Structure 1
C-alpha cells in the first residue's frame, strides 16, 4: 500500500474516532437534558437528515472537484461547529434544541467527508487491492467508532458535555494535518468546460439512472435503507432501555459505552475474516445471510431482557456489520464506472443514510405512543423480513460487471 493510502487510512480512522465519540455521547447528553424519547431520537434524526437533503448535489460536486480538498473543507466545518458547541456547553447554555442543531450541522459536514473518503480509495490503490484496502478502512472505522470511541464517549460525558464535544474537534484538526502532509491523489484531467457545462440536475440524474437500472444495485440499495431505517430506530431508543434506574436493565452510562466496545471487538474479528469470507461467498447470498443473522441478534437480548445476552449479541453483530461494510463498499466500487462513482455512491448513501432520520423519528413516536420495548421487538422483525424479500430479487454481479472501470 502507498504512503497516500496510509495517510488516508490514518485520517479516516481518526475522523471515525470522532464520529464514534459523538455517536455515543450525543444520546447520553440528550438523556441528561430531557426524558422525552421523541427528543432523544430527534438528535439522531438531525444527525442523519443531511444525508437525505445533500447527498445528490454532493455526489455531483465530488465527480468534478478535488476530493481531497473537499474532505478537508468538511473537517474544517467540523472544527467550527464543535468549537461553538464546546463554548455553549462550558457556559452552561446547552439545551436539547442546541444539541439538535449541533448534530444537524455536524451531519452536513459528514456527508461531504464520508463521501469523499469512499471515492478517494480507488484513487490511491489499484483494483486488485480494493478488497484489502476496504477491509483496512472498515477495520479502522469499526475500531475507532466502537472499540475506542464508545468507551471514550462514556468517560468524556462523565467529565462534561464540553469534553465530549471538544474531543472530536481536536481529532479533526489532527486529520487536517495528516491529509495536508501525506495524502496525494492523481491529478485529475483538466476540465475542458464540457463537464461543468452539463447541468447539475442532469449529472445527478445520470447517477440515479445507473443505480435504478443496475440489476444488483437497484435491490441492494433499498435493502440497505431498510436495515438502516430500523437499525437506527432501534439504537436511537436503546439508551432509554439500557441506562438509568427506570430502564429495563438499569445500567450506568459507562455500561452503554461498553456495549459499543463489544460491537467493536466483533468488528475486528469480522475485518480479519472479510477476505476469506468474500472469497467463498457471492455478494448477494452473503448479504441475505447477514440480514437474517442481524435481525436475530437484535431481537434475542430484548426478548430475554438480559444484559449479558445483549453484550454477547452485539459482539457477534459487530462481525456482521464489519463484513457488510467491506462487502458493500467493494460491490459498489466494482460495479460502478469511475466517472459515475461519486454520483452513484452518494445516491446510494442518500437512500441509505437519508432514510435513517425516518427510522429514528418513527422509533421516537412509536415509543412515546406505546413503549420502548415495543420498538425494540417490532423493528428487527420488520427489518429482517423486508431485507430478505428485496435481496431474493437481486442478481449476482457477473464477470463483466466486476471488471468495469
Structure 2
C-alpha cells in the first residue's frame, strides 16, 4: 500500500512545478544566501572572542540543541498552523536576531554569552522553519514531481548557502565583522515577504481534533512502525553526530592547519558547492540508473573517504576537492530520503513525523559538537595542537565507515531494497 499525501490545495499540472513552488524557491534561495553569509560570519566572530576549541564547539552545541529539545512540540505546532505564516515568522525572527548581533558589534557590546543565546534561539527558529518548508512542499507540487522539486530546492540551497553565501561572507568580514550580519538581516526580511505571497492553507490537524500529546503519539506510532523510515532516522542520527564531531572546530582547522583567510575560507565552501550542485542536479538520473540503495551506500563510502583525506592533508585545494565530492553524494542522500519521506507519510502527519525524524537524526548534533571539542582538547594534550585539530576528523571518518558496513550488510527494505520497490508498505 502506498500512503499518499492529501491534496488540500489545487496542484499545478503534473509537468510543471507551478508559480507557487517558484515563489517558495525564491524565498528559500534568499534565506539560504543569508545563512551562507553567516556560515563564515559566525565562526569568524567566535574566533575573535576566544581561541579555546571547546568554547567554540559549544556555540555549535547551542545552535543544535533545539533539534534535541524542541523538535517534537514544534512538529505538532506546524501540523496545526498555516505553514506560510510559520515560514515568514521564523524568517523575520532570524532577521531580528542577526540584526541584534550587528548592533552589538557596532556598539562594541559583543560577548561570547550573547553568541550562545543567539545561537540557541536561531537554532529554535531553524527547527520550525525547516519543518514547515518540508511539510508545505507536497501541497505545492504533484507527488510525482517531489523528487524534481526537492532537487531544485537543494540546488538553490547549494548555490546560495554554500557556493555564493560563504564567499560573500568572507568578503564582508573583511570590511567589518558587523557587515555580514547586517546583510543577513535584510535577506531574511525579504525572504519572509516572499513567503507571505503564497496562498494560505488550512492546517490538516484541527486544534480541537485532539490534544497535542495525542498528535505526537500518532506521529510516533507511524514513524516507529515504519521500519525503513525508522532505520533511516537512526542511521542518519549517528551519521550527523559524526559530521558534527568533524566540523565542530573546522574554523580553527582552516585557520591554523590550512592557513586560510576569511575570504579563502568562503572559497573553500564555494568549491565544495560545485560538487553539491552536480550531485543535486544528477540525483534523479542517478537514482533511476543505479537505484537509491547504491546511491545511499556511495554517499556513506564517499563521506568516509573524504574525511580521511581532509584529516591527513594540509592543502586547502585537496580539502576543497574532497569536500566537493562528498557534498555531491551528501546532497543526493538528502534529495532521495526527503522525497521518500514526503511520498510515504500522509500530509496530516507530515509535520509530526518530520519532527520525530529530525529529533532522531539531528538530535545527536549537540553531542557530536561537544565530542568534537573534547577530542581536540584531548588530542592537543597528548600530541600537540595539530594532532588535536586532526583527531575529530579522523574519528568521524571511522564512524561513517562503520555505518557503511552496517547499511551494506543489514538494510534491505524501503530505500535500501535491492529490487528498487521503495514505496512498498513496510509498516510493522
> Shorter-chain TM-score: which interval?
over 0.9
Q: Which residue of 1 aligns with 2:382?
A: none
Q: Which residue of 2 aligns with 1:364?
A: 373
Structure 1 residue runs of 5 or longer lacking an equivalent are: none
Distance 1:121 1:189, change over 3 A: closer
Instruction: For 2:422 and 2:310, locate their aligned partners in 1 and report how far apart those are by CA, in whole Å.
Output: 41
CA deviation string 1:354-387 (max 9, x = no partner): 2111111110011111111111211111123135
Q: Which residue of 1 aligns with 2:363?
A: 354
3-state SS, counterpart of residue 51 of structure 1: helix
Instruction: For 2:378 and 2:371, locate their aligned partners in 1 and report how far apart those are by CA, in whole Å.
Output: 11
Instruction: For 2:209 and 2:151, locate their aligned partners in 1 and report how far apart those are by CA, in whole Å.
Output: 37
Q: Which residue of 2 aligns with 1:162?
A: 178
3-state SS, counterpart of residue 411 of structure 2: coil
Instruction: For 1:34 and 1:190, locate their aligned partners in 2 and report how far apart those are by CA, in whole Å.
Output: 46
2:303–2:326 CA contact under 8 A, matched in 1: yes
Q: 2:272 aligns with which of 254, 259, 263?
A: 263
CA deviation string 1:74-110 (max 9, x = no partner): 1121122122212111111112221121111111111
Q: CA RMSD in A?
A: 2.0
Instruction: For 2:275 and 2:339, locate their aligned partners in 1 and report how far apart those are by CA, in whole Å.
Output: 20
CA deviation after TM superposition for structure 1 residue 61, in Å: 1.2
Matched ranges for 1:296-375 at <5 A: 296-370=305-379, 371-375=388-392
- Give aligned pairs, total: 397
Instruction: For 1:285 and 1:269, locate their aligned partners in 2 and report how far apart those are by CA, in whole Å.
Output: 17
Matched ranges for 1:6-405 at <5 A: 6-181=22-197, 183-188=198-203, 191=206, 196-243=208-255, 247-370=256-379, 371-390=388-407, 392-397=409-414, 398=421, 401=424
CA deviation string 1:13-55 (max 9, x = no partner): 1111122222232112111110100111111111111111111
Instruction: For 2:425 and 2:221, locate their aligned partners in 1 and report how far apart those are by CA, in whole Å.
Output: 19
CA deviation string 1:251-290 (max 9, x = no partner): 2222211111111111111122111012123333321221
2:60–2:248 CA contact under 8 A, matched in 1: yes
Instruction: For 2:110 and 2:193, locate their aligned partners in 1 and report how far apart those are by CA, in whole Å.
Output: 30
Q: Which residue of 1 aligns with 2:5?
A: none
CA deviation after TM superposition for structure 1 residue 185, in Å: 4.9
3-state SS, counterpart of residue 249 of structure 1: coil
2:299–2:329 CA contact under 8 A, matched in 1: yes
3-state SS, counterpart of residue 260 of structure 2: coil
Q: Which range moves more in the overlay, 388-397 or 353-362?
A: 388-397
Q: Hey, which bits of structure 1, 4+ residues long, moved more than 6 A?
A: none
Distance 1:189 1:290, change over 3 A: closer
Q: Which residue of 2 aligns with 1:2?
A: 18
3-state SS, counterpart of residue 196 of structure 1: coil
Instruction: For 2:426 and 2:65, locate their aligned partners in 1 and report how far apart those are by CA, in whole Å.
Output: 34
CA deviation after TM superposition for structure 1 residue 10, in Å: 0.5
- What TM-score comes out, normalization by structure 1 length? 0.93
Instruction: For 2:61 and 2:45, locate their aligned partners in 1 and report how far apart those are by CA, in whole Å.
Output: 15
CA deviation after TM superposition for structure 1 residue 188, in Å: 4.8
3-state SS, counterpart of residue 54 of structure 2: helix
1:224–1:387 CA contact under 8 A, matched in 2: no
